[in-house]
Amino acid sequence: MNRGSKAAVLVTGGAGYIGAHTAKALHERGLLPVVYDNLSSGFRDAVRWGPLVHGDVRDRVALGEAMAAYDVAAVIHFAGLIEVGRSTARPDLFWEINVAGVTSLLTVMRERGVGRLVFSSSAAVYGQGGRGPLEAIPEDAPKAPASPYGDTKLAAEWMIAAQCRAYGLTAVALRYFNAAGADPSGAIGEAHEPETHLIPLAIAAALGDGPPLTVFGQDFDTPDGTCLRDYIHVNDLAAAHVAALDADLPRGAFEAVNVGTGRGSSVAEVVKAVGRAAGRPVPHSLGPRRAGDPPSLVADPAKARRLLGWSPTCSGLDRIVADALRWERDPGYGSGVRGSAGRRKSPVAA
């Protein structure tokens, strides 16, 4: 996008975890992030770098009005449901919001001539992993989502790709691996309700703010028997969105790009890293596998480097854990809204 001009970017779901970090990165890049969010799981306090338009992605009139009011040049689409477990219980809701929501967005973008989209996709499109059990996953690995959540991300990608071919929309789908960490400013961080993610749960256990962690499975075919995941710092993830907006792509291009480091960390390694950072061991017990957990999900990040000129700069496990821990100890400490909400209810949710 045109460097220097304060072009507006509509950030749907920009009051959530990754959306808020991306809004900050857009602001730092000289763009105006216009957050469009229904605040069903995001936080008003997390919207700091541009205006908030309260609206639902399925509301085409409100979407069109927001795009017109700010003369939006591009869209980054985060808004959607993310809990894999809930998607098996309520696939209807996931299709309604994650797929019909994208239909609605694409229709309005087409009507208004907004030609650039970055879409929040997921490694969940790969289901159980890549070609080999411990191999890094390239973008052309088989797509076999293992949940309705993954189905909706893949279906949305297909719809976006078709729209690119149909009329010249240019789009990048970023397939996130494991987003983690928090902005070092302390202004924003991760808060999900309910929390199901490993790093926040391990930190809560170490700080005595939550129950002991259960390590799900020790008999996977991995070096230490626990699952391998590719943890990516949320600020590296935010930078990937800015890079995807800036990428010099031909009109009508659709590209799906992995966002990960190419390095796997095991659950046991994460537990040790949290213990080191907290200065006390993480109370934990060993439990059975969680249904559907693949042994290893590690990105092949070569395409992101080649196409977007992006590579991670702050995704070492110790750095991720240190930033997450700072936030968990004192959420919102750099925000000026300290104490405005309950500890885990402060900004930001995804």
Footprint of ligand UDP (CB under 6 A): 178, 196-198, 201, 213-216, 227, 229, 267, 290, 293
In the complex with ligand UDP, the residue whose CB is nearer, 55 or 294, is: 294
> Would strands 254-259 and 213-216 be described as parallel, antiparallel, or unpaired?
unpaired
Tokens representing 344 are 């885990």
In the complex with ligand UDP, the residue whose CB is nearer, 98 or 178, is: 178
Measured from the CB of residue 6, what is the shortest distance to ligand UDP in angstroms?
36
DSSP string, 175-228: EE-EEE---TTSS-----SS---HHHHHHHHHHTSSPPEEEE-S-SSSTTSSPE
Measured from the CB of residue 298, what is the shortest distance to ligand UDP in angstroms?
11
Measured from the CB of residue 15, what is the shortest distance to ligand UDP in angstroms?
21
Measured from the CB of residue 348, what is the shortest distance to ligand UDP in angstroms?
17
- Who contacts 244 (Cβ-Cβ below 8 Å, separation ≥6)? 118, 172, 174, 257, 308, 310
Q: Is the dihedral of CA 330, 336, 340, 345 positive or negative?
A: negative
In the complex with ligand UDP, the residue whose CB is nearer, 264 or 331, is: 264
Residues designated catalytic: 149
**SS3 assignment, position 140:** coil
Q: How far apart are CA 89 and CA 47, in angstroms?
A: 31
**SS3 assignment, position 150:** helix
Q: Are 299 and 259 in contact (CB under 8 A)?
A: yes
DSSP string, 36-85: EE--SSS-GGG--SS-EEE--TT-HHHHHHHHHHTTEEEEEE--S---HH
Q: Are 252 and 321 in contact (CB under 8 A)?
A: no
Tokens representing 84 are 């894999």
Measured from the CB of residue 146, what is the shortest distance to ligand UDP in angstroms?
11
Classify residue 166 by burial, with Cβ atoms within 10 Å: 0-12, 13-18, 19+.
exposed
* DSSP secondary structure code for residue 290 in this structure: P
In the complex with ligand UDP, the residue whose CB is nearer, 12 or 296, is: 296
Q: Are 308 and 249 in contact (CB under 8 A)?
A: no
Measured from the CB of residue 215, what is the shortest distance to ligand UDP in angstroms?
5
In the complex with ligand UDP, the residue whose CB is nearer, 40 or 196, is: 196
In the complex with ligand UDP, the residue whose CB is nearer, 34 or 324, is: 324
